[in-house]
Amino acid sequence: MTIRSKAVLVWGSVFLSACGGGGDSTSPCTSNITGLCASLGATVTPSSPTSPTTTALYTTAPNSVTVARGASATYTIGGGSGSYTATSSNTSVLKAEVSGTTLTIQGISAGTATVAITDSAGQKMSISANVPAPVSDAAPLYTTAPTAVTLPSSGMVSYQIGGGKAPYTVSSGNPSVVSASVNGQILTISALWQQSASSTPTQITIVDTTGARVTTAVTVLGRSQTGTPPSIYPASITVSDCTSNIPFVFTGGTAPFTVYTGDGARVPVSAPLPFGPDSYFTADIQVLVGGAFREPPTSANPYKVILTVLDSQSRAATADVLVGSQFACPQTARLDVQAGSTVAKVGEKATFHISGGQPPYTVKSRNQLDVPDTTPIARADASASLGSDGQYAFDVTALSTGGASLTGAALITVTSADGQMKNLVLTVYPQP
């Protein structure tokens, strides 16, 4: 009995102590067993809850991220306390924004930056970000200009620029000797007037928007060339797409001659062809074949290509081709004229037959350039007629040699309704 009483006494003391007892019934009761405490007459005070443990600030983004230019990447932010903010060390490279617990990183331009993440308690962490330069799938920058060009004083020549990333810019290493300009994909180089040849070539530099560059060296000759410089006719012509074999006659200069086009894809040219004392070449208009335009050509805003004839003394003559429309070419057979270039004596008549193309056909005769058209060398029918054999044909009569020369030449051009042209030369000899 004594032992049991002592055990009850000890337990009661411990419980009373937990209730703030120990002889003072008004002491606060810190025990959670509030019912028992109250039954003993003790003041009940609920125990304070244990404060939660704060976790470290974190994000699902790796230590280093890569975001393409114009793209965005999202990650989750957690831990820390309160709201989150994110800042970029270089906003011209990338932007960093937080919405709730979502971090968004947006690539702006090529470069690197650091993204700093902060919570409301001041905890911080950072990640590095890289925006790589875009990989271009375009062809390398190029020009049809050779690496070295020789021009006469006051001469001009045009070439094509392609590849790289447009728009293009061009600069001259010595603008007082050589000027250079670019219009779309056409590079024009002009030699300024020089009394004597330039001792050092002038470097022309073409640059695209990525910084890629190509160069050509231009040497300017003095005024010591012999003979007359070349001239070309017509100096300008306006045509539509799908026009082929357009003739350009040139005279003067010194052979051999080279013919260049400012756009070999859309307006290819032939090699020089003989035409009495002169020469001629042809050009084809293939606007659609050459690729799409950002702004298709119109009559108000035609596409311009410069054609250039260069003689052996680097003297140049140019002609402008203006393409005022763009449409799908008709699928007709290639225009041909039989028997092609031929000869005739004054007073003789030659008959030519047409195949391919599309009727009606028109015919035009042009004198060599040193003979005025008022003295025609040949007279051609204005149009071809359909014969009983089912073929279109026309006649050309040799009228004159064009003056005191022993021979003359007329350029006969046949044009079909679908825009195709065919040229032939009639060489006229005097009667014995």
Q: Where are the domains of the chain?
A: 2-44, 58-131, 142-220, 227-329, 333-432
CATH (residue range 142-220): 2.60.40.3440
- Integer Cα distance of 22 and 411 in angstroms: 134
Three-class HEC string of 168-215: CEEEECCCCCEEEEEECCEEEEEECCCCCCCCCCEEEEEECCCCCEEE
* Neighbour tally for 382: CB within 10 Å: 10
Rg (alpha carbons) of the chain, rounded to whole number: 45
Residues 84-119 have pLDDT tens digits of 999 999 999 999 999 999 999 999 988 999 999 999
Q: Which residue, among 286, 395, 290, has the nearest Cα to 337 in the 3D structure?
A: 395
Phi, psi of 156 (to 5 degrees): -145, 145
Residues 203-236 have pLDDT tens digits of 999 999 888 999 999 988 766 667 788 999 999 9
- What lies within 8 Å, CB to CB, of 404 at 6+ separation is none
Q: Which two tokens stand for residue 136?
A: 């271009």
Q: Which residue, among 145, 139, 138, has the nearest Cα to 306 in the 3D structure?
A: 145
Query: pLDDT digit of tens for each residue in the chain (432 aa)?
Result: 444 444 343 334 443 344 444 444 444 444 444 444 444 454 444 544 444 556 888 899 999 999 988 889 999 998 888 799 999 999 999 999 999 999 999 999 889 999 999 999 889 999 999 998 765 555 788 998 889 888 877 788 888 898 888 899 999 998 888 999 998 889 999 987 655 555 688 999 999 988 899 999 998 876 666 778 899 999 999 887 778 889 999 999 888 899 999 888 888 999 999 988 889 999 988 766 555 555 677 778 888 899 999 888 778 899 999 888 766 676 788 899 987 888 999 999 999 999 998 999 999 999 988 888 788 999 999 999 999 989 999 999 999 988 766 788 999 999 998 888 999 999 998 887
* Neighbour tally for 391: CB within 10 Å: 13
**pLDDT score at 29:** 45
> 392 to each of 334, 353, 356, how far by Cα in Å?
15, 6, 10
As a whole number of angstroms, the longest Cα–Cα distance in the chain is 169
The verdict on pTM exceeding 0.85 is no
- Integer Cα distance of 65 and 45 in angstroms: 54
Q: Which two tokens stand for residue 172?
A: 């001259």
> 217 to each of 310, 366, 387, 421, how far by Cα in Å?
17, 39, 58, 38
- Integer Cα distance of 314 and 258 in angstroms: 9
Exposure string of 243-262, with b = 16+ CB inside 10 Å and e = fewer, is bbbbbbbbbbbbeebebbbb
- Integer Cα distance of 384 and 387 in angstroms: 9
Q: Which CATH architecture has domain 333-432?
A: Sandwich (2.60)
Fold topology of 58-131: Immunoglobulin-like (2.60.40)
Fold topology of 227-329: Immunoglobulin-like (2.60.40)
58-131 and 333-432: same fold? yes
